[in-house]
Structure 1
Amino acid sequence: MFFFLFQPDVLWGRTREELANLLSTQPVRGWEGMSIRSLGEIIWSSLVFLGTYYMEMCECYLVLSSFHLLILSVDRRNKAFVYEGLLPLAGMRLREIASAISHTFEISGSMIESRLVCCQNSADFDMWVQHLQHQIKMANAHCPVSPNNNISFLVPCDEQWKKRELVRHLWCNTILKWEGKPIQHLGRIQYLTMVQVTSGCMGAPEERLLILFPEDLLFLSVDTDRTAITYKGKLPLTGIQAKEKPAMLGRLQFEITGRLTEPILITCSTAEDYEKCLFYLQKPRKILDPLTLQPPPIIPKKSRQHR
């Protein structure tokens, strides 16, 4: 492809290929969880100006991979990248802007705030439009977000191939009402299954997708039409305990307790799910000082000294 034929210095006297290697080998400030290399091959990247219709443009370094668009700010003083966001390509839309602002296009989506991307020149603009349109098409084909998507074939995830495909779906698609750092930053998934969850003493059981990460227990729900996945909560493993419940009528149940949550009764559908969940939840792990689990105190501003 022709864009490799001409590679002037892009940033800090380095070429695009050298910057790609830097991202793969050096830590990015603010990035958490799995390595950036887990996003896959870097397809295109460059310096751009990024903004919205009501906020001014700021300099960013955009990195396009197979299923995501990575947003990095540039610390020129320390010659470092700073993590600013990770957008899934599935469901994204691209629109070229015909206005006084040259070399600009808009990216948007049902769960993505519209952003304006202003490229440095027409060649860079053409490359972004070409590659981004192609990768959005590929992401939608691989992980469709329409009502005809494949969640209904994967839930309940009672076979290994379904679990693998469901993990891939979660990496590439929007999770409704998601809060906190992106799911890709929670680490490698240790176990995933569908369970019945009962909260409190009188709560009714609800179907939940339970996902165990190295440091967190994640709960997601799947709508009745099996077309969307919604965030329902996340608990730090260091703040909870899992206790087996006496076998009753053949039910495979355990209880999750902790000072950060009311008791949660988990009912598994298979002995394998029951044993695997308890294995990961009861694994010894580093015990944190309880004080570290508390939010930091708010330090009041110094009051003015009266003369």
Structure 2
Amino acid sequence: MGCCSLSARRAGSAGTGQDEVELLRTGRTRTWSNSEGQSEASLHPKDPAIPAGTGDTEVLWGRTREELATLLITQPISGWEGMDIHSLGEIIWSSLVFLRSYCMEEMCECYIVLSSFHLLILSVDRTKKAFVYEGLLPLAGMRLREIASAISHTFEISGSMIESRLICCQNSADFDMWVQHLQHQIKMANAHCPVSPNNNISFLVPCDEQWKKRELMRHLLCNTILKWEGKPIQHLGRIQYLTTVQVASGCMGDSEERLLILFPEDLLFLSVDKDRTAITYKGKLPRTGIQAKEKSAMLGRLQFEITGSLTEPIVITCSTAEDYEKCLFYLQKPEKILDPLTLQPPPITPKKSRQHQQDISTQ
């Protein structure tokens, strides 16, 4: 994360000081009742008091925003995934907040960091005085909505690729800074990643060269995937392999072009529209529930078949021998081997026992 937005931090430092330090002393979570639902009128924490006030520039662990920004780029972040943190660029704004997704009962203390095209979410390890990676959300396609409720200084972020989250700031000054900067950066991100013929997808698909594969991996982790379902793509782990294939199954009839992406635990299928301007989610299979078999009967074709209890047979046709070999390498599971115990030599009879048997035989 190269440099920091010093002007932005100075503008908000007056409202983010001792109140944040005091908040750290009061606890790290806010509990919500299960019966409260998801409507704006029901957003009532059991601990409604949110300290507010002004003070010095300390934000966390006695450090200023500038010092925390330096810590982020110089110290390892536990659990970090995806692109290198330095590639995220300038830090626009950051602060300690309470965050809650609609599947959570509690609002948890987090430190969130806004860069040019991403929102980084970190949890706080108080014992080690360190940050723990929780997620990296692309700003392109994100929506922001201010929440008018009993909880002051709260806004919601949502999007086609991310689950909705409530973010509760610690004071009005911090809230204003987040709304201002997030709205501007979302607008900028959408302007730089438009769904139009100028989008770089047209240059990357088909991904028949190594540089295209690398760039397309970065694109998928940073941009909107239409009709996305489930946890964010950044949480699926490191991409092991990516290629363009032809996919045919009983429900599809003729084969169709798909992006095939291999993650450590999942096999992901995406489609690209005919104008090469947008990528759409088409499905995901757990790798533990599928098997890949070569179709040796189809000589001259780089084909293999995916079968499993959760899917009907799917025939995959690769365009190059390298893609074919890499896909099978990652998807095929090693054959079961004999129990190592059966491969051990028979036990050696103790010397004393052998002598006793010889004495019996001579009698």
User: Quick one: structure 1 residues 169 and 10, their matched pair in 2 at CA, closer, same or farther if it must change by over 3 Å?
Assistant: same
Q: CA deviation at 1:209?
A: 0.6
Q: Deviations over 1:167-212 (max 9, x none)?
A: 1221111222323322112222222111111224984322211011
User: Quick one: structure 1 residues 39 and 253, their matched pair in 2 at CA, closer, same or farther if it must change by over 3 Å?
Assistant: same
When normalised by structure 1's length, the TM-score is 0.67
Moved more, 112-121 or 270-279: 112-121
Q: Deviations over 1:86-118 (max 9, x none)?
A: 432113356889999987777565666777766
Q: CA deviation at 1:41?
A: 6.2
Moved more, 24-33 or 138-147: 24-33
Moved more, 281-290 or 18-27: 281-290
User: Quick one: structure 1 residues 201 and 49, their matched pair in 2 at CA, closer, same or farther if it must change by over 3 Å?
Assistant: closer
User: Quick one: structure 1 residues 32 and 130, their matched pair in 2 at CA, closer, same or farther if it must change by over 3 Å?
Assistant: same
SS at match of 2:351: coil
Q: Deviations over 1:113-163 (max 9, x none)?
A: 777766445653564356435543553354334565232332222223322
Q: Is the 2:136–2:234 contact (alpha carbons within 8 Å) kept by the matching residues of 1?
A: no
CA distance in 1: counterparts of 2:144 and 2:241, whole angstroms: 36
Asked if 1:271 is matched to 2:324, the reply is no
Number of equivalences = 299
Q: CA deviation at 1:253?
A: 0.4
> Which structure has the highest helix share of the two?
2
Q: 2:306 is matched with which residue?
A: 256
User: Quick one: structure 1 residues 110 and 209, their matched pair in 2 at CA, closer, same or farther if it must change by over 3 Å?
Assistant: closer
Q: Is the 1:145–1:173 contact (alpha carbons within 8 Å) kept by the matching residues of 2?
A: no
Asked if 1:232 is matched to 2:282, the reply is yes
User: Quick one: structure 1 residues 196 and 107, their matched pair in 2 at CA, closer, same or farther if it must change by over 3 Å?
Assistant: same
Q: Is the 1:238–1:287 contact (alpha carbons within 8 Å) kept by the matching residues of 2?
A: no
Report the structure number with the largest CA radius of gyration.
Answer: 2
Q: 1:119 is matched with which residue?
A: 169
Q: 2:50 is matched with which residue?
A: none
CA distance in 2: counterparts of 1:302 and 1:72, whole angstroms: 67
User: Quick one: structure 1 residues 281 and 112, their matched pair in 2 at CA, closer, same or farther if it must change by over 3 Å?
Assistant: closer
Q: Is the 1:190–1:213 contact (alpha carbons within 8 Å) kept by the matching residues of 2?
A: yes
User: Quick one: structure 1 residues 72 and 245, their matched pair in 2 at CA, closer, same or farther if it must change by over 3 Å?
Assistant: same
| 5+ long unaligned stretches in structure 2 | 1-57, 357-362
When normalised by structure 2's length, the TM-score is 0.58
Q: Is the 1:238–1:288 contact (alpha carbons within 8 Å) kept by the matching residues of 2?
A: no
CA distance in 1: counterparts of 2:349 and 2:180, whole angstroms: 50
User: Quick one: structure 1 residues 100 and 54, their matched pair in 2 at CA, closer, same or farther if it must change by over 3 Å?
Assistant: farther
Q: Is the 2:82–2:237 contact (alpha carbons within 8 Å) kept by the matching residues of 1?
A: yes
Q: Is the 2:221–2:234 contact (alpha carbons within 8 Å) kept by the matching residues of 1?
A: yes
- The share of aligned pairs that are identical, in percent, is 91
Q: 1:186 is matched with which residue?
A: 236
| 5+ long unaligned stretches in structure 1 | 1-8
User: Which residue of 46, 60, 84 maps to 2:134?
Assistant: 84
Q: CA deviation at 1:164?
A: 2.3
Moved more, 43-52 or 263-272: 43-52
The two structures, once aligned, show a CA RMSD in angstroms of 10.5
Asked if 1:19 is matched to 2:55, the reply is no
User: Quick one: structure 1 residues 130 and 295, their matched pair in 2 at CA, closer, same or farther if it must change by over 3 Å?
Assistant: farther
